[in-house]
Structure 1
Amino acid sequence: MAFLGFSAGLPFLLVFSTLSAWLRDEGVSRTAIGFFSWVGITYSIKVFWAPIVDRLPLPLLTRRLGQRRGWMLLAQLGIATGLVGMSLIDPQTSLVAVAWLALLVAFSSATQDISIDAYRIEAVQQTLQAAMAATYIFGYRVALLVAGAGAFYVADFGSWTLAYQVMAACVGIGMVTTLCIAEPIRRVDRVTEILEDRMAGAMLGDRAPSRLRHATAWFAGAVVGPFVDFFRRNGWVALTILLLVAIYRVSDITMGVMANPFYLDLGFSKSEIASVTKVFGFFMTIAGSFIGGVLVARYGLGGPLVAGAALVAATNLLFALLAGIGPDLQWLTLVISADNLAGGLSNVVFIAWLSSLTSQAYTATQYALFSSLMTLPGKVVGGFSGIVVDASGYAPFFLYAAAIGLPAILLSIYMWWRSRRLPPSEPVTS
């Protein structure tokens, strides 16, 4: 799970903040960099092709590797191809080509996420899901360190071309892991099978041709079933859950688009950025993840969910202070410590909460729905971050990023309050 977490985390920064730093280093405008972040929207709309990854077999790979591993390997090949292509193009002269290749990396990475999330939930029993999530996050954070600090170090002592080629080689870790692990056993309960049969019958009736009935049954199970199941288990509160999923990380994602350009414009060197924000920040994130796991074990999910939302929004205020102080390395270390502790804590709590909401029958599609929703609003809002910075500066931007985190805090408080009023058997309190 740690190696799969590494494989999932590696491409993310390479089409997000590391790419932003590369483009800024090449003289690309901050407004263009802000719009470039929309490439990452592919992570936020992966729910649209998750049913295909969940149920559609690949002609050769599925027979040899299985449903989850086959899609993993295909996605990893796409990531490596896109990174190599990006390394061979000059952003100053071919920015559109860089965008298309970044889109290939992001699409392939999102597809890999669908498969890995399904594998993580299906591979072990429910009682071990917290351990799986924690191990996955550890591997993911190591990958962020490699794709963040590692890429910065290689770029500082070599070039961005070499950095992206090294990152493409690192994709091989995920490929080897995919070939070594066992395909998980997929469990579909009898209630789910009956529900799918009823949906297929209601859509066509009993007199439809056999092939059409089979196709409709597949559609009902792969596309309609996950959503019907989720609303059947959670009732009207399902809408509240989806709203919280959508806004929980808006503040964090919006700030992240401009983080590396902010460090560079403030006057820090690429090596200083790598050492403090990536290497030191990595250990702070791991510490935050540990604290988050302890809090969940001690107090459940409700209280830590509120704390995570509040801390992530509040740390943006420290970035606003840093914008006024200037390139002070001690202040940068303090701000990064707080930001990564808060981020690690909130991420562990949020993933544990999302995993508890999925059904074993529809792991890929339902978790893809949650993970798509949790990044889409932030990506859309983050695309305008460059305009805000160009118009009013960094300090007002970070105040704005803190303010848009308030709705997530309020809704988390509501969900915590509601969970305390319901019996433990309710799905939303797990």
Structure 2
Amino acid sequence: MLQANSRPANATLILLASLYCAQGLPSGLLAHSLPVLLRQHGVDLALIGLLKLLALPWLLKVLWAPWVDRLASPRLGHHRGWILPLQMTVIAIVTGLALINPERLFDSHFLLLIGLLLLVNLAASTQDIATDGLAVRLLPERWRGLGNSLQVCGYKVGMLVSGSGLLLAMDTLGWYLSLALVAALLVLMTVPIWRFAERRELPFLPEQAEPAGPGLLLRHYRGLLMQPGMLFWLAVLLSFKLGDALGSPMIKPMLVDQGWSNTELGQLTLISSLVGIAGAFIGGLLYARIGALRALLGFGLLQAVGIAAMAQLVHAGGNSALVYSVALFEQAADGMSTVALFAVMMRQCRPEHEGADFTLQASVQLLLAGLVGASSGLLAKWLGYEALFVGAGVLGLLALPLVLLYFRRSQLAALVHAQ
């Protein structure tokens, strides 16, 4: 077993990075490449917009996550028994898409395309449950920030490769070879989990899991919510990313209104994404040094300052140096704060309940943030961009006292329990 201060082995870090990168590859294909390709082939905008509904498995996975925690393969191992078949399913689908003529796929075979994409999302979202559970078990407390850096960075790299990278490759390599390369990369990302001896290193302990059968869903999540301090932690989850959720959807529309072209926005997006990846990696390293409380408070403060600073750009869109400075700072702060939040989420996961416990927390965090993000355009129209960004920063600051209160109550509960 790893000690609390032991740095994970390089093989463990490579394993987790490969799994999260593998999840980012199909996500980038669905979110960035396919909408462009569909429109180029004349698919109606309304149908392209409805593709967002194919992401429903990511929202609904909380309903079957307890079964991923409970059911284990006696031959492949617990998490590995889920990850390998699901990743092979995604590889098979991407390979199949590479063999189909795109002219037919986007026309007469469009329903087939929809069905395959839904299956990809179902497989990838279920695999994410098992991957998160595996990450919680593999990473000691101090190094969970670094582990979540790999999660954020690996996923974003995968999305960049199959999003921007795939679109660039299409012009040179064409549909068939470009998708074949995505499938080949997925095969490469499967090698570490294929070689991982989970049954020996992380044996499944069914006596610590919920009994299977009717009522598993209710028993599982009731047990999590009854943990000491969980209600305060849920308040942190609901509030910590609200400021970012409110302000970030309006950054690009604001720049469009100030005359930024698609090329200029694309360059800004690419560079800021790379800076966000670097921020996530730095955040993970700092988490190991400064601990959970100071990481959440410090990175949360940077996040609030970053989104509020966008108000300085409302009348300064022509100053590209200022835009880049503020945008890159905001993205770095977002990466750092996300890593810290995910790392503390891992602390709340119970043994043999890791996948579903992490999934529920992630779903809670996204729920209110999604609703607030959906209202950002309306609020920007009513209040103006400047008031929106300042309000988003204030909202981010208001979450920090909740973080402090949660940790103080947790420390007090630990003292009482020790006595």
2:124 to 103, 106, 109: 109
Contact kept, 8 Å, 1:35 with 1:383, in 2: the verdict is no
Change (3 A) 1:233 1:397: same
Change (3 A) 1:68 1:100: same
Partner of 1:176: 191
| Residue 55 (1) aligns with residue 66 (2) | no
Greater CA drift, 292-301 or 321-330: 321-330
Q: Aligned partners of 2:325, 2:179: CA distance in 1, in Å?
A: 30
Shift of 1:425: 6.3
Shift of 1:45: 2.3
Q: Aligned partners of 1:259, 1:18: CA distance in 2, in Å?
A: 22
Contact kept, 8 Å, 2:311 with 2:387, in 1: the verdict is yes
Change (3 A) 1:112 1:104: same
Shift of 1:354: 0.5
Partner of 2:202: 185
Shift of 1:352: 0.9
Q: Aligned partners of 1:319, 1:356: CA distance in 2, in Å?
A: 33
Partner of 1:416: 404
Q: Aligned partners of 1:86, 1:397: CA distance in 2, in Å?
A: 42
1:244 to 216, 232, 236: 236
Deviations 1:95-114 (A, max 9, x none): 76655443322222111111
Partner of 2:343: 352
Shift of 1:323: 7.4
Change (3 A) 1:374 1:337: same
Contact kept, 8 Å, 2:304 with 2:394, in 1: the verdict is yes
Partner of 1:69: 80
Q: Which residue identity does 1:352 align to in structure 2? A: A
Q: Secondary structure of 2:226's match?
A: helix
Structure 1: stretches of 5+ with no match in the other structure:
197-216
- Counterparts of 1:83-232 in structure 2, within 5 Å, are 83-84=94-95, 89=102, 93=107, 98-155=113-170, 157=172, 163-183=178-198, 184-186=201-203, 188=205, 192=208, 217-219=211-213, 222-232=216-226
Change (3 A) 1:138 1:70: same
Partner of 2:24: 9
| Residue 370 (1) aligns with residue 354 (2) | no
Change (3 A) 1:24 1:156: same
| Residue 339 (1) aligns with residue 354 (2) | no
Change (3 A) 1:384 1:73: farther
Change (3 A) 1:295 1:174: closer
Q: Aligned partners of 2:255, 2:179: CA distance in 1, in Å?
A: 21
Change (3 A) 1:120 1:298: closer
Change (3 A) 1:378 1:233: closer
Q: Aligned partners of 1:43, 1:155: CA distance in 2, in Å?
A: 28
Q: Secondary structure of 1:219's match?
A: coil
Deviations 1:368-396 (A, max 9, x none): 111222334445665677x869x959x95
Shift of 1:92: 6.9
Q: Which residue identity does 1:346 align to in structure 2? A: S
Shift of 1:230: 2.0
Deviations 1:136-185 (A, max 9, x none): 44433432332344234324655677655533332212322221112152
Q: Aligned partners of 1:238, 1:416: CA distance in 2, in Å?
A: 14
Shift of 1:38: 4.1
- Counterparts of 1:190-339 in structure 2, within 5 Å, are 192=208, 217-219=211-213, 222-234=216-228, 237-250=229-242, 252=244, 266-269=260-263, 276-278=268-270, 280-293=271-284, 295-312=286-303, 315-316=306-307, 330=321, 333-339=324-330
RMSD: 4.4
Structure 2: stretches of 5+ with no match in the other structure:
1-15
Contact kept, 8 Å, 1:248 with 1:309, in 2: the verdict is yes
Shift of 1:321: 6.4
Change (3 A) 1:106 1:327: farther
Change (3 A) 1:376 1:80: farther
Contact kept, 8 Å, 2:148 with 2:342, in 1: the verdict is yes
Contact kept, 8 Å, 1:142 with 1:282, in 2: the verdict is no
Q: Aligned partners of 1:327, 1:162: CA distance in 2, in Å?
A: 41
Q: Aligned partners of 2:247, 2:94: CA distance in 1, in Å?
A: 25
Q: Percent identity?
A: 25
Q: Secondary structure of 1:12's match?
A: helix
